[in-house]
C-alpha cells in the first residue's frame, strides 16, 4: 500500500486518499456507508492495481476513516463533490468507478457529472435509493421530522446512525424511479444471501440504466460484504475484464 496523503478542498476539508500511478483508466473505489479505504475490497483492488501497473485511487469521505470532519455532516451531495474533486486532481482520462453498497449509489451521482470520462462502472451490492426501500415508514417519518434513526450494526458494537441531514439530501438523489442516463459498460455483483441490500435492487438498477451493456452476476451464497477470498477473486476478474 502507498502512504496516505491528504487533499484540501476549497473550504478547508482535508480528504485522506491513496493513489498509485499506472496505465489504463484509473480505478476509483467508493466505499459504503460508514466504511473507508482500509476495507478488504478496497485494499485488494489497490494491491492488484499496483501489481498490474494500473492507476488506482482510494479515498475516505469526510467524517470517515482518516479524513477530517464529522460523520453527522455527511451527505451524498457532499461526498459526491469530494470524489469529483479528487478525480479532477489525480485521476486523469477515462475512469473506472467501483462502488460498494452506498458507494454504488454515489457512483451513479459521480458518473452523471463525468460526461465522456467514464470507462465503466462496477457495483458491489449497489444500494441506490436505500432511503426509500431500506427503512420502515415510521423510520422515514422520524427522519423527515429531523430525528436521527439508530439501527443495530452487524459489523461493530455501536449502532448505525442515519441523520436527518443525510436523509433529506438523499431524497433529492433518488434514481431508480426513472431512466438513469448513463450508457457506459456496467457490471453489478450481488450476493443472493445479502441481508442488507436485496439482490433485486441490482436487477432494478440494470433496468433503469440506459446502457445496453449491463451485466449482473448473482452469487448464490454471497452475503452483503462479498469479501470472502472467492468473492475478492471474482471482483478482480471483473475489474480485469475492463482492461482487456
Q: Which set of grid coordinates corresponds to residue 96?
A: 473506472
Dist CA 110 CA 57 (whole Å): 14
Q: Is 213 a catalytic residue?
A: no
- Residues 124 and 235: beta-carbon distance below 8 Å: yes
Q: Which set of grid coordinates corresponds to residue 9?
A: 478542498
Q: Which residues contact 82 (CB under 8 A, 6 or more apart)?
A: 9, 13, 15, 59, 61, 62
Q: Is 196 a catalytic residue?
A: no
DSSP, collapsed to helix, strand or coil, labels residue 173 as coil
Q: Is 173 a catalytic residue?
A: no
Catalytic residue chosen out of the listed positions 60, 129, 169, 194:
194
Dist CA 146 CA 150 (whole Å): 13
Catalytic residue chosen out of the listed positions 101, 169, 173, 190:
101
Q: Which residues contact 119 (CB under 8 A, 6 or more apart)?
A: 25, 94, 95, 96, 184, 185, 242
Active-site amino acid positions: 101, 194, 224
Amino acid at each position: 500500500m502507498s502512504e496516505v496523503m491528504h487533499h484540501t478542498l476549497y473550504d478547508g476539508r482535508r480528504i485522506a486518499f491513496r493513489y498509485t500511478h499506472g496505465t489504463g483508466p484509473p480505478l476509483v473505489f467508493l466505499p459504503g456507508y460508514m466504511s473507508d479505504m482500509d476495507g478488504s475490497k478496497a485494499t485488494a483492488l489497490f494491491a492488484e492495481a499496483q501489481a498490474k501497473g494500473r492507476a488506482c485511487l482510494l479515498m475516505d469521505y469526510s467524517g470517515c476513516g482518516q479524513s477530517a470532519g464529522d460523520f453527522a455532516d455527511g451527505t451524498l451531495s457532499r461526498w459526491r463533490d469530494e470524489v469529483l474533486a479528487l478525480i479532477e486532481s489525480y485521476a486523469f482520462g477515462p475512469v473506472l468507478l467501483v462502488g460498494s453498497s452506498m458507494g454504488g449509489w454515489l457512483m451513479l451521482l459521480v458518473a452523471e457529472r463525468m460526461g465522456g470520462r467514464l470507462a465503466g462502472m462496477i457495483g458491489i451490492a449497489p444500494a441506490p435509493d436505500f432511503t426509500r426501500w431500506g427503512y420502515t415508514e415510521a423510520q422515514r417519518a422520524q427522519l423527515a421530522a429531523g430525528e436521527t434513526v439508530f439501527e443495530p450494526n452487524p459489523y461493530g458494537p455501536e449502532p448505525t446512525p442515519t441523520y436527518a441531514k443525510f436523509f433529506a439530501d438523499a431524497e433529492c438523489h433518488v434514481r431508480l424511479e426513472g431512466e438513469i442516463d448513463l450508457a457506459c459498460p456496467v457490471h453489478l455483483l450481488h450476493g443472493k444471501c445479502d441481508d442488507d441490500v436485496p439482490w433485486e435492487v441490482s436487477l432494478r438498477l440494470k433496468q433503469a440504466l440506459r446502457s445496453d451493456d449491463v451485466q449482473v452476476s448473482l452469487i448464490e451464497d454471497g452475503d452483503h460484504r462479498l469479501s470472502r477470498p472467492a468473492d475478492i477473486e471474482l471482483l478482480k476478474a471483473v475489474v480485469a475484464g475492463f482492461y482487456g
